[in-house]
Amino acid sequence: MEPVYKILIADDHPLFREAITSVIESGFTGSEVLETADLESAMALTREHDDLDLILLDLNMPGMNGLNGLITLRNEAPTIPVVIVSAEEDKQIVLQAITYGAVGFITKSSPRSQMTDAIQQILNGNVYLPSDIIRTGKESHRRSRHEDNPISPELLNALTRRQLLVLERMSKGESNKQIAYNLNIAETTVKAHVSAILRKLGVHNRVQAILSASDVDFSQYLKR
């Protein structure tokens, strides 16, 4: 039986809410969809339903004040994954949203199948970024150093072998559950490793770790 999800769509365009609702209803049968059109009621619904599996958040709806709304919502409900759904395609804004704790970014121009796939990946515990953002991520660190700085060899050498193995799997987009299964360790152990990795690398969240590790050749560090 397919898992049933509870998803909140926070967007001030009724037509777009309707479109996303139909994507969810056809792709995730039986799931419950809640809808709201401004940040204040999104916060109220989040307090009321602490069992939400996902919030799809529009950056430009009333009360959001850009990324501030995301920060407010993340502080209010740190355990509920938030995905930004926006017409915005500016790479810096996408990366900033991720820095502030969003687990994904879906552009409103995405085709339906891509939206379904993105939502599925996020519900599986992975992070979703538009592929062109990840592709262009490499050359941008000359412009914005902290968003995309590659990890120095010293920092990588400071990680234990097990932490390197966890980071390598994280950078492939695996969730904690998948990493636990593949490395044959408990999921709580994976979580502890992830926290230690973020601390040692000096990054705030999983996505920053993944972006900064995207160029690392793990085999040379794992030889030692």
Q: Please tell me the total number of residues recorded for the chain in this structure.
A: 224
Give residue 141's pLDDT. 42
Compute the C-alpha angle 92/96/102, nearest 5°.
130
What is the pTM for the complete model shown?
0.64
Give residue 137's pLDDT. 47
Distance of alpha carbon 131 from alpha carbon 164, whole angstroms: 25
Single out the residue of 208, 128, 138 nearest to residue 167, CA to CA: 208
Residue ranges, the chain, pLDDT below 50: 137-148
CB 198 within 8 A of CB 205: yes
Can you tell me whether residue 35 is helix, strand or coil?
strand
Give residue 134's pLDDT. 61
DSSP class of residue 223 equals T
Compute the C-alpha angle 171/159/166, nearest 5°.
35
Domains annotated for the chain, with CATH where assigned, are 6-136 (3.40.50.2300), 150-222 (1.10.10.10)
Distance of alpha carbon 181 from alpha carbon 193, whole angstroms: 14
